Amino acid sequence: MIARILEFVVELSQSLRFVDFIDIGIISIFVYLILVWIEKARVRFILAGMTILGVIYVLAKIFGLYLTTMVFQAFFAIFLIMIVVIFQDEFRHFFERVAMWGIKRRQPQVASQEHGIAMLTSGLANLSRKKIGALVVVQGLDPLDRYLEAGIHSDALLSQVLIETIFEPNSPSHDGAVIIKGERLDIFGCHLPLSTNIDEIGHLGTRHAAALGLTERTDALCIVVSEERGTFSVAEDGKIKQLKDIGEVSDVLAKFYRKRFPVKQKVFSADFLKGHTLEKIIAVVLVFGLWFVFGHRTETIRRDFVVPIEYRNLAQDRIISEAKPKEVTVTLSGSERSFNLLDAKELKLSMDMLKVKEGEDKYYLEKNMVRKPAGLSLVNIEPKEISLKLFKMISISIPVQIKAEGRPLSGAMIKEIKIEPQNVAVRIPDTVDRNKILITTEPIDLKSITETTTLTPKLIIPAEIRFPDDKLPEVKVTIKV
């Protein structure tokens, strides 16, 4: 038993390539981010429900439960749409975080942070002594606009007096929140989304619910001053806690600025490795399990594909005629995971026409002509040669002949039939006798003509003829009665 396990481990280690480690690492990061997002967005119960439904569906497939399988398949797309609609804000916020990850932003100066912290804490301390309620939002890296309602833009320099004035009970904007950017007061009198997390809010008031609601959706820091007790509370990352005094508020602000706006931008932050250990382990184990199920197949297999032949570097004054065959069968060899990544439509056999001479000849099909992924090797090509004719094209002008059928009805007489233009420019192989080239209109039935009429008939064109820019000419036939 132990020998078999050791043999399996050795086989597994030998089958793991360097690119497999990169593959597992990339997907593990994405799974880890999703797990952290699920925890913060509080959709764990939804995930548990989806997992249970998935297990039921898999068991139904295994045991051949036809009705259950069909119902699950029929409602799967509808269920996904419902999930997207219900959690559209959470999905939007997740993709915003992914898009903004790694983007360089303008960092505020340390002096600006210290000035902003000093002005803000002084104003909040006075409001606390007077037991005047306040809600202050310190913006992080995430945009806030779509979460804010009402509000007045000010872009004013942050000061102690300004903070106290805005939250003065007689001020019309005292019930709203203020948005701080660096040392600037950006918006005041705005309303924030309320949290529905009853466990976290508890007996706290509306300002606390608003602070918690915004931090559940963004990386902002919210500071609340209670108008009943004059105490301080801070909300960050969907969590709210009460602080003892204004000194702790100052420490929280300083830590927030250091975290969100470091003085020196690091290429790789060690913060990514801190915390969420369980999520990291789950992500790596889950992705490794997926790789083992879908990617750990070392046996070599062969598959045949019918591949079209394409012609590259064909001069404009050259034409290919009677190419046989137009398709070939190629045999590829490789692992099943390499075939799973293959799009058969991308397989082509390319011939370089710079190496082909004029006239009729046969050409050997070489393996380097087949475009294929790097993980697959080419075993065989059938047939091994192609015959084709390559001609030089010349430009000439050919008259267009009108083909008419029948006679006009009694009482009607055709005076004239003319065509415009009378000649069209064409390109033909230099081996074709130009005097034998004939271009006519489709038959025109004169029995239906009772008055002067202008028609636009289609042209009957010999197979060897080509037109400039491959654009079919248009002619007009006027029949005067």
User: Which among 480, 335, 321, 348 is positioned nearest to 415, based on CA atoms?
Assistant: 480
Please state the domain count of the chain: 4
321: part of which helix (H) or strand (E)?
Answer: strand 318-324
Structural domain includes residue 450: yes
Distance CA 343, CA 189 (A): 56
The CA distances from residue 421 to 425, 463, 473, in Å, are 10, 21, 9
Question: 217 and 156 share a domain?
Answer: yes
User: Which among 271, 274, 226, 272 is positioned nearest to 249, based on CA atoms?
Assistant: 226
Structural domain includes residue 463: yes
Using CB atoms within 10 Å of the CB of residue 57, give its burial: 0 to 12 exposed, 13 to 18 middle, 19+ buried. Answer: middle
Structural domain includes residue 234: yes
Structural domain includes residue 73: yes
CB 124 within 8 A of CB 223: yes
What is the pLDDT, as a whole number, of residue 108? 45
Q: Which two tokens stand for residue 16?
A: 């793991």
Residue 114 three-state SS: helix
Domain hosting residue 468, numbered range: 402-480
Question: 241 and 278 share a domain?
Answer: no
What is the pLDDT, as a whole number, of residue 393? 79
CB 203 within 8 A of CB 182: no
Question: 69 and 185 share a domain?
Answer: no
Question: 289 and 305 share a domain?
Answer: no
The CA distances from residue 461 to 405, 435, 464, 476, in Å, are 19, 15, 8, 16
User: Which among 240, 116, 237, 231 is positioned nearest to 178, based on CA atoms?
Assistant: 116
Structural domain includes residue 470: yes
pLDDT in tens, 272-305: 556 667 778 888 887 877 776 665 556 678 888 8
User: Which among 230, 232, 212, 229 is positioned nearest to 221, based on CA atoms?
Assistant: 212
User: Which among 450, 457, 449, 448 is positioned nearest to 419, based on CA atoms?
Assistant: 457
Using CB atoms within 10 Å of the CB of residue 451, give its burial: 0 to 12 exposed, 13 to 18 middle, 19+ buried. Answer: exposed
Which of 391, 415, 436 is the endpoint of a domain? 391
Question: 289 and 304 share a domain?
Answer: no
What is the pLDDT, as a whole number, of residue 39? 67
| Beta-carbon-side half-sphere exposure of residue 391 (alpha carbons within 13 Å) | 17
Question: 305 and 341 share a domain?
Answer: yes
The CA distances from residue 22 to 18, 79, 273, 311, 343, in Å, are 7, 33, 18, 37, 22
What is the pLDDT, as a whole number, of residue 109? 44
Distance of alpha carbon 447 from its chain centroid, rounded?
60
> pTM value?
0.47
In eight-state DSSP terms, residue 464 is: T
Distance CA 441, CA 479 (A): 14
CB 197 within 8 A of CB 226: no
Structural domain includes residue 1: no
What is the pLDDT, as a whole number, of residue 103? 52
Question: 287 and 325 share a domain?
Answer: no
Question: 117 and 222 share a domain?
Answer: yes
Structural domain includes residue 267: no
The domain that contains 236 carries what CATH number? Answer: 3.40.1700.10
CB 454 within 8 A of CB 418: no
User: Which among 104, 112, 93 is positioned nearest to 43, based on CA atoms?
Assistant: 93
Question: 38 and 148 share a domain?
Answer: no
What ranges in 295-439 are assigned the alpha helix state H?
336-340
Distance CA 262, CA 107 (A): 7
Low-confidence ranges of the chain (pLDDT < 50): 104-111, 267-269
Residue 281 three-state SS: helix
The domain that contains 416 carries what CATH number? Answer: 2.170.120
Q: What does the angle CA 455 – CA 458 – CA 461 come to, to the nearest 5 degrees?
A: 145
CB 291 within 8 A of CB 23: yes
Question: 411 and 282 share a domain?
Answer: no
What is the pLDDT, as a whole number, of residue 40? 63
What is the pLDDT, as a whole number, of residue 104? 47
Q: Which residues contact 14 (CB under 8 A, 6 or more apart)?
A: none
Q: Which two tokens stand for residue 386?
A: 């192609």
What is the pLDDT, as a whole number, of residue 3? 66
What is the pLDDT, as a whole number, of residue 263? 62
Structural domain includes residue 396: no
User: Which among 210, 213, 231, 235 is positioned nearest to 223, based on CA atoms?
Assistant: 235
Which of 391, 415, 432 is the endpoint of a domain? 391
Question: 81 and 212 share a domain?
Answer: no
Question: 244 and 290 share a domain?
Answer: no
The domain that contains 307 carries what CATH number? Answer: 2.170.120.30
What is the pLDDT, as a whole number, of residue 268? 45
What is the pLDDT, as a whole number, of residue 333? 85
User: Which among 199, 198, 193, 232 is positioned nearest to 214, based on CA atoms?
Assistant: 193
CB 403 within 8 A of CB 442: yes
Q: Which two tokens stand for residue 96?
A: 């915003």
